[in-house]
Amino acid sequence: MTTPPTTKLNLDNIQGDILSGIPKKTELYYFFQILDTKKFRVQLGKLAPIIKTAAQVLHDRKCIEDHKKRGGHGLIQIVGVNVSFSHLGFQKLGINDSTLFGGNTNDPFSVGQLNDAVRNLGDPTKETPNGVVPDWEKEFLQPIHGLILIAGESHATTDKKLKEVEAIFGVGSKTPSVKKVKLIRGDVRPGKEHAHEHFGFLDGVSNPSVIGFDPILPGPAQVRPGILLTGQDGDPIQNREPWAVDGSFQVFRYLFQEVPEFHKYLRDNPLKFEDLTPEEGSELLGARMVGRWRSGAPIDVTPFKDDPKLAKDPQRNNDFKFKDQLNSQQRCPFAAHVRKTMPRDDLESLGISVESRRIARRGIQFGPEVTPSEKQEDKTQKERGLLFVCYQSSISNGFQFMQQSWANNANFPFGEQQPEVPGLDPLIGRGTPRKMSGLDPNDATRELTFPDFIIPRGGEYFFTPSIKALKETL
Ligand code: HEM
């Protein structure tokens, strides 16, 4: 691992979840409305000092490493708070936030996710007396002004911090300045599955590494800081107002996963390849849908057999680019989740950079493990899924583009040049029919159709401002 050069970023001014993610086993998502603007702005001054910065996250991570090196068992006590605001939130605060979207009123941040979900993301919708809205939980159909994240190592620590935060805003008193719209708790999964999402695949493997901040590793090129941070080199909007610098746009998606149904689908459609058993054929199908094995090993490197050792090796687990595979789905289907969301040489070899599309994924699972009764009936009975969060300096370049123009676009990549139309991203792609080619290594033209395994039930777009902005502007 090469040591990163000394960063020029002011890590004391950047909220901690953006660059490397607040370390966590559990996380509270507190969605709120501002009731009393004047009071709220005064009280925000008391929240600012307890916000975890990027510098403090680096310190926390070092403490965790040292604790492990000393052979320490269990976790050290760590908790971190971050705060973000929606466009409606800035409006409520009386702050002109047009510097955030360059005055473009079609920008997803200014439009809000409630509208964007219907117009561009392809979320399921429903008719209401007020028109067509996404088929989301009712709380997410209300205006949401902000999101407070509280991440930590235990429920006790995060619950205590939540009380502290609520006390700052007078929640529980007769005149609170905020109203809780929704509180969701996320937890990493138990035991060996702790870093895996609910379908069972290792998550959080490939995130952009930032020039001057992260170590240089083999694989996709590093990104300029301005791909994640406003006002830095690579930010598509120039000359932002000073308060809008060192922030990041935070996308939240409340994604429910139909886990028993996903596993039944794999069991019912095992790939027949060489001498694989039906179980191995199902494993291969799952790996080809995701683009990685459950262990996290990329199928572009190890296409027909899992290699858990490779998965654990940060020098190798991102060192692939679909090179020499541009016309071929043999090693990895075009529409596999990781190829759709990060096409690497599919675009770069054509001279199209993927840098501006990169997002930093943070987020956590919610809901219990699959119960024996759910397993027996192959049917979801309890709510579970992913509290998806990602950061970027432009939602229209990052998350929105990825969802709308890649995952939901059956022709991406290579739809017109190839005999096989790639199809939709089998995890998050929305549209009808939900199908893709390239899953069967013996016959790339064979298309498999699948039901929805991931259902969006809420979300919003936020901006996570700098510490200076929290103290001086908001
Ligand atoms: C990678 C699962 C939603 C974008 C991955 C990986 C898994 C996964 C297993 C591979 C491991 C890794 O690199 O971390 C899921 C599940 C989702 C979900 C279960 C929903 C419940 C989304 C959404 C987006 C997204 C909504 C954005 C629109 C990405 C990106 C990568 C990735 C950019 C990394 C690709 C790469 O650089 O190789 N996801 N994902 N995912 N996912 Fe998702």
Contact residues for 404 (Cβ-Cβ < 8 A; gap 6+): 120, 121, 122
Express each pLDDT in 421-440 by its tens digit: 999 999 999 999 999 999 99
Which residue's CA is the closest to the ligand 1 atom numbered 11?
A: 203
Residue nearest to atom 29 of ligand 1 (CA): 341
Shortest-distance atom of ligand 1 to CA 399? 28
Per-residue pLDDT of 138-163, as tens digits, reads 999 999 999 999 999 999 999 999 99
Quote the CA–CA distance of 285 and 262 in Å, as a whole number.
Answer: 11
**Pair 324, 310: CB distance under 8 Å:** no
- Looking from the CA of residue 204, the nearest atom of ligand 1 is 14
Closest ligand 1 atom to residue 253 Cα is 26
Six-digit token string for 244? 């809008």
Closest of 262, 264, 268 to residue 289, by C-alpha: 262
203 labelled catalytic: yes
Tokens of 5: 């050069």
Pocket test for ligand 1, best of 120, 206, 294 (most atoms within 8 A of CB): 206
Quick one: which of 15, 147, 176 has its CA closest to 462? 147
Number of C-beta neighbours around residue 89 at 10 A: 25
The encoded tokens of residue 119 equal 């117009």
3-state secondary structure of 292: strand
Place of tokens 């969006």: 456
Placement of tokens 């200014």 in the chain: 110
Pocket residue to mutate for ligand 1, from 116, 259, 427, most atoms within 8 A of Cβ: 427
Distance (Å) from CA 203 to ligand 1 centroid: 7
CA dihedral for 438, 442, 448, 450, sign (positive or negative): negative
**All residues at 6 or more sequence positions from 457 whose CB lies less than 8 Å from its CB, including other chains:** 135, 136, 137, 140, 254, 255, 256
Task: Report the alpha-carbon distance of residue 196 to residue 379 in Å, rounded.
Answer: 21
Cα 400 from Cα 336, distance rounded (Å) = 18
Whole-angstrom Cα distance, residue 211 to residue 357?
16
Contact between 240 and 96 under an 8 Å Cβ cutoff? The reply is no
CA angle 297, 301, 304 (to 5 degrees): 80
Dihedral pair phi/psi, residue 114, rounded to 5°: -55, -45
Cis peptide upstream of residue 433 (ω within 30 degrees of 0): yes
Distance 22 CA to ligand 1 centre (A): 19
| H-run or E-run covering 179 | strand 178-187
CA of 215 from ligand 1 middle (Å) equals 21
Distances (CA, A) of 312 to 202, 329, 404: 10, 25, 32
pLDDT confidence of residue 442: 95
Report the distance separating Cα 19 and Cα 228, nearest Å. 8
Q: How far is C-alpha 443 from the geometric centre of its chain's CA atoms? A: 33
Contact between residue 132 and residue 125 where contact means Cβ atoms under 8 Å apart: yes
Closest approach atom of ligand 1 to CA 220 = 37
Query: Measured in whole angstroms, how far is the alpha carbon of residue 159 from the centre of its chain?
Result: 24
Question: Best substitution site from 341, 388, 405 to test ligand 1's pocket, by max atoms within 8 Å of Cβ?
Answer: 341
Q: Return the number of other C-beta atoms located less than 10 Å from residue 251's C-beta.
A: 26
Q: How far is the CA of 385 from the centre of ligand 1 (A)?
A: 13
Residue to probe by mutation, ligand 1, list 198, 344, 388, 454, most atoms within 8 Å of CB? 388
How far away, in angstroms, is 201 Cα from ligand 1 center? Answer: 10
Alpha carbons 104 and 79: distance in angstroms, whole number: 37
Which secondary structure element, helix H or strand E, spans residue 261, and what is its range?
A: helix 259-268
Instruction: Tokens 């969605």: give the residue.
Output: 31
Q: How many CB atoms lie within 10 A of CB 181?
A: 18
Cis? peptide before 413, omega within 30° of 0: yes
Q: Which of 107, 203, 246, 300 is catalytic?
A: 203
Cα R_g (the chain), whole angstroms:
22
| DSSP secondary structure of 435-468 | EES--STT-TT--EE---SEEEEEEEEEEE--HH
With a Cβ cut-off of 6 Å, ligand 1 is lined by 197, 199, 201-206, 253, 255, 257, 290, 292, 337-338, 341-342, 359, 361, 385-386, 388, 399, 402-403, 407, 427-428, 454
* Dist. CA 296 → ligand 1 center (Å): 12
How many A from CA of 297 to the centre of ligand 1? 14
Q: Which atom of ligand 1 is nearest to the CA of 255?
A: 21
Name the residue among 312, 290, 314, 422 with its Cα closest to residue 303.
290
Segments in the chain below pLDDT 70: 1-7, 74, 416
Closest CA to 426 of 228, 253, 290: 290
- Phi and psi based region of residue 438 (left: phi greater than 0; alpha: psi -120 to 50; beta: remaining): left
